[in-house]
């Protein structure tokens, strides 16, 4: 969530003026609490109990590696995402989601979404005021094992996402960040020359609840993660 305002009206009811900015819209506490939840609370994504990947192929990638841009609700993307992150609430904010194909077949998914704000490390690395010019690589899942496939995908991904972000959001993308949960070491990102920025403090921020808790941040214990970044 973003900034709290006391002098602007809610975008939904147009009555209440104690509002908070959520991905470009202003919500009062009541309207935010009444927001419909789609896809079982996964931001419009739905897990398929059975997904036959043999039915999903693309002749454009018959003899090469390729990325296909899809909505987050696409059954392949949403199912592989939610099985990779079973406790996730889905993808929010600005996002670009891709299915990875090789020889017509699905071999994985990769995607980006809006990064967490106000990280000093990001401001130092990308420059202050560039919050809309870098994205978080929030998922990268391969379902096959092949030498150097990860670095090949990342190289193609960096070029593709830069072009697609410009087309969709009319912003110049200057970089990417990602969070890696130990015991993973971020080996694929290191091989692609991403820069290690440090480790998170291992806390989570919550803002939902009654009015006081909704407006004020609450912190809880989370998992410490490694942070990597790449200028593109």
Where do the structural domains in the chain lie, given as residue ranges?
1-35, 36-231
CATH of domain 36-231: 3.40.630.30
C-beta separation of 131 from 117 below 8 A = yes
Average pLDDT, the chain: 86
Residue 38 pLDDT exceeds 50:
no
pLDDT band at 2 (very low <50, low <70, confident <90, very high): low
Tokens at 98, concatenated: 């891709």
- In this structure, what token pair is assigned to residue 232? 């593109």
- Residue 203 binned pLDDT confidence (cut-offs 50, 70, 90): low
φ, ψ at 213 (rounded to 5°): -70, -30
92 or 117, which is more confident: 92
pLDDT of residue 160: 98
- pLDDT band of residue 214 (cuts 50, 70, 90) is very low
How many Cβ atoms from other residues are within 10 Å of residue 80's Cβ?
A: 24
Residue 211 confidence (pLDDT) above 50: no
Place of tokens 């092949």: 146
pTM of the predicted structure, to 2 decimals: 0.77
The larger pLDDT score, comparing residue 221 to residue 2, is at 221
First vs last C-alpha separation in the chain = 27
Tokens of 215: 């407006």
Query: What's the pLDDT at 227?
Result: 95
Q: Which two tokens stand for residue 96?
A: 């670009």
Rounded average pLDDT over 184-188: 93
Q: Which of 115, 84, 72, 96 is nearest to 159 (CA)?
A: 96
What is the model's pLDDT at position 104?
95
Closest listed residue to residue 88, CA positions, set 58, 118, 56, 113:
113
Spatial distance between the Cα atoms of 197 and 122, rounded to a whole number of angstroms: 9
pLDDT band at 144 (very low <50, low <70, confident <90, very high): very high
The more confidently predicted of residues 175 and 44 is 175
Q: Which residue has the higher pLDDT, 16 or 179?
A: 179
230 or 27: which leads in pLDDT = 230
């Amino acid at each position: 969530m973003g900034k709290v305002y006391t002098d602007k009206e809610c975008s939904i009811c147009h009555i209440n003026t104690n509002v908070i900015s959520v991905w470009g819209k202003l919500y009062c506490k009541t309207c935010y609490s009444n927001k419909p939840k789609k896809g079982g609370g996964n931001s419009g994504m739905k897990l398929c109990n059975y997904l036959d990947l043999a039915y999903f192929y693309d002749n454009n990638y018959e003899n090469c590696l390729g990325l296909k841009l899809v909505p987050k609700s696409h059954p392949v993307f949403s199912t592989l995402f939610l099985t990779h992150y079973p406790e996730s609430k889905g993808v929010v904010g600005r996002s670009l989601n891709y299915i990875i194909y090789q020889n017509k077949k699905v071999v994985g998914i990769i995607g980006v979404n809006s990064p967490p704000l106000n990280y000093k490390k990001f401001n130092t690395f990308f420059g202050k005021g560039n919050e809309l010019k870098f994205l978080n690589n929030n998922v990268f899942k391969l379902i096959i094992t092949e030498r150097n496939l990860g670095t090949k995908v990342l190289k193609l991904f960096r070029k593709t996402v830069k072009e697609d972000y410009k087309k969709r959001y009319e912003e110049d993308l200057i970089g990417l960040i990602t969070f890696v949960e130990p015991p993973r070491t971020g080996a694929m990102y290191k091989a692609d020359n991403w820069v290690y920025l440090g480790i998170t403090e291992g806390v989570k921020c919550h803002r939902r609840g009654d009015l006081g808790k909704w407006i004020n941040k609450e912190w809880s214990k989370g998992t410490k993660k490694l942070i990597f970044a790449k200028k593109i």
